[in-house]
Structure 1
């Protein structure tokens, strides 16, 4: 059995989660491969040079053909791209994508060699219509966000927020996706959170797919408890300081809620708090709030050290599936403070693994932080680590996926 994981990029939350699944399967004896624009791993689990996604300069005749199509016989891809570009500046969203691509993924050697295709976050590299029309292999689709069963947007809040601007194009894209997906003969949807599973079941796009829930997994050899005092000393943080950690790929991403944390901290002036912030973007200076910006960190080892420095990990996302950062924090024995949404609500237990705010607001988040500060001695690192090992185990994840693969292959 050969399983190919397809993901747009090996970077970012989805890329990392997909790579961890690939590694878990390899450790379980499955012949697994990994395909993305910036990293390709073959079925021997070796990273290889792959020119498939390299830019190829079009010939003179191809340029003429493209211009002719653009003016006289524009494709659906070209038409919708033009329409999206016209409204892009008026959109207020994290990202908006189309189900089209110039890549012919069905022609990739690894796709042709695979017995099963496991799709992940594939915006920009998967052309829905041509891929599903030409690839008749069983499809497992791991949902890292809602985009596979939505239109332009990747989360429901963005769809709602941009309804006036983009509803017509959004609805048309949903139909394009649905029509292409109906061509898949054998498929299973996997969601890392139960929240995403409910949303997937409510959607009619994947009505002919079996749907199931399998949490992501974590590497406990990298993410594990460490000596807090020595790590803090490197950043001139006192051993007894109350330290909160915030992590996002981009701190300006509205969905990740850093602005709500900043507002919450203003309401906690009497509580001595040091915030470590990881991610790209400029953090506004506030004399009343001690924020240490650590910038972008890509090294798992460096990230594990940052978790270990914190008393709690603050994850104020407005919408989220099963964030890798939550799993990483738990594996390091760090409790979580966040909102009662998505996979965060499923695994954050008060007095056990963390505290949930009563509502999505800066005031409620401030109250949750204050509650944790008063009861922080109740949270035991070893208990949290054990919870992570019980729920985000690589062997359990691989076993669950293998059962799905075997079922599809009959």
Structure 2
């Protein structure tokens, strides 16, 4: 049995979990390949870095600039890149596909094509993106139960995009795919969702190598990191310390509250509080001494940090089954966490740590003090919990059984061909990508190679533009000429307020007065001059509200 494990990144929480599963399967003798697009795996055995298509890097570079979220992590990681349309060919030798976090890597159509090719699909939910439009965490929104219509987390101009992605998932989601949930929480959410409510849901927690993450050598670890036996050490870590969802600001507030508490006992001083952080994003400025270890791969040095700590702080606002939580428990380290998502699966209040309400910094501070100065949590019990529930060997065994079952039943479902909706989704994004490209070239106008690359990429994307719309440029200056160079075949005509340009052509495209717009039934107008406010008012006076403005900052540093 050949298994292909797909994940966008080799790093990050999902990437590390998927790579661990890959290693666990290989240790059991399963032929497994880890297929990814970015980063470098901590264990590079049998790993394949997938090639992107012509526009993949361009798409991924600019999609990050399009975040219009108002709360949750929305539109940052879209499940569309045109980079993996060749996925069936790349995985032709795989018997089973194990998809994990595949945003920006594989569209729902690409995964559906794999299923039509006869390959069973087992999809692990590392967050909520599979059953929502574009959200990875919903921030309390229930719109996914009703097609993600009128998404409250994005501005109005991006709501059609959210709905289009949801429709694409509803159209192409293979009904016989098996969805694996690392936590009971996300399993319950998947079962009540509109997209996955009728699908098979299995709960298999992520695992860790309990031979690497173990409690032995705690005193040596504390000495190696410079802590005395009297110190009380709080550990906080994440792939990105700047991710607001992970709650670093809540921990800092809890530490400030702790500093104002009276000493819990005469023999202990709050001056003994110390901290350790790991992850990208730099140092955290706290009211206690902090040891910043920076990004750490999941190996011995990370395990040493867990052993040295008296408690792991996990103040997440939203989370599934964080790797740091099960790694800490495997090292015998108690966890103080917020009562959100799948965290209560592992953190049993009063048994393996303590739970506080989300956003409750005073409650979180009290729970930290309880562990640090009052004890009550048996480190051996934390280890026992990890061995019983989060052993990588058990996880790999259960996945192998599931893959074998899926493989034996693969002929029972023959999905029909369905219309490809990737063009609709991509067309909604193209104006933003074009805007980003114009700004890039405008501020780097001497880079001829950059201009050529952008033109080639937009030529590749040309079939995805809405064929029924009229795209019109307002302005024939430098930025108008750049825009035309990128999307000449899509531009119907140009309008300009300068009468001297009326009746002329720019690269074969006619220039008209603005009144020409009144002849168009459904125009999409790109405003190209830097100083665009007056043109916006002019267009609004003509009755047009749907247009994109290619301004970022003027060359003089003032908003255009």
TM bucket normalised to smaller:
0.7 to 0.9
Structure 2 unmatched ranges of 5 or more: 142-150, 262-269, 410-560
Map of 1:3-22 to 2, 5 A cutoff? 3-22=3-22
TM-score by length of 2: 0.63
**C-alpha distance in structure 1 between counterparts of 2:7 and 2:367, whole Å:** 36
Match of 2:153 among 155, 162, 173: 162
The C-alpha deviation readout for 1:177-229, integer Å capped at 9, x for no partner, is 22121xx2531000000000011111121244211111011101111113333
Which residue of 1 is the match for residue 462 of structure 2? none
CA change 1:283–1:161 in 2 (3 A) is farther
1:122 aligns with 2:102: yes
What is the deviation of 1:375?
A: 2.8
1:360–1:386: structure 2 CA closer, same or farther, 3 Å change rule? same
Pairwise CA RMSD: 3.0
Q: How do residues 12-51 of structure 1 correspond to structure 2 at under 5 angstroms?
A: 12-38=12-38, 46-47=45-46
Map 1:322-337 onto structure 2 (within 5 A).
322-337=321-336
Tell me the CA shift for residue 342 of structure 1: 1.7
2:67 is the counterpart of 1:88: yes
2:392 matched residue in structure 1:
394
Alignment of 1:229-378 (within 5 A): 229-269=219-259, 270=261, 271-272=270-271, 273-283=273-283, 285-286=285-286, 288-376=287-375, 378=376
**Which residue in 1 is equivalent to 2:166?**
174
SS class of match (1:314)? strand
Q: Which residue does 1:193 correspond to in 2?
A: 183
Q: Alpha carbons of 1:367 and 1:406: their partners in 2 closer, same or farther (altered >3 Å)?
A: same
Measured after TM superposition, the shift of residue 170 of structure 1 is: 2.1
**Larger RCO: Structure 1 or Structure 2 (Cα < 8 Å, ≥ 6 residues apart)?**
1
Given the alignment of the two structures, is residue 209 of structure 1 paired with residue 189 of structure 2, yes or no? no
Distance in structure 2 (CA, Å) of the matches to 1:128 and 1:49: 21
Whole-Å separation in 2 of the counterparts to 1:86 and 1:354: 39
Larger radius of gyration: 2
Matched, 1:150 2:132: yes
Is the alpha carbon distance of 1:365 and 1:131 closer, same or farther for their aligned partners in structure 2, counting shifts above 3 Å? same
Change in CA separation of 1:156 and 1:89 when aligned onto 2, cut-off 3 Å: closer
Task: Report the secondary structure of 1:240's partner residue.
Answer: coil
Choose 348-357 or 399-408, whichever is displaced more: 399-408
Instruction: Report Cα offsets for 1:148-188 as digits up to 9, x if no partner.
Output: 1112221011868725555443233211222121xx25310
How many residue pairs align between the two structures? 382
* Equivalent residues of 1:255, 1:317 under 8 A apart: yes
Per the TM alignment, residue 284 of structure 1 is displaced from its structure 2 partner at its CA by: 5.1
Q: CA deviation at 1:133?
A: 3.2
Distance 1:112 1:40 in 2: 23
Consecutive unaligned residues in structure 1, runs of 5 or more: 59-65, 67-76
Partners of 1:99 and 1:177 within 8 A in 2: no
Which range moved further: 294-303 or 11-20? 294-303
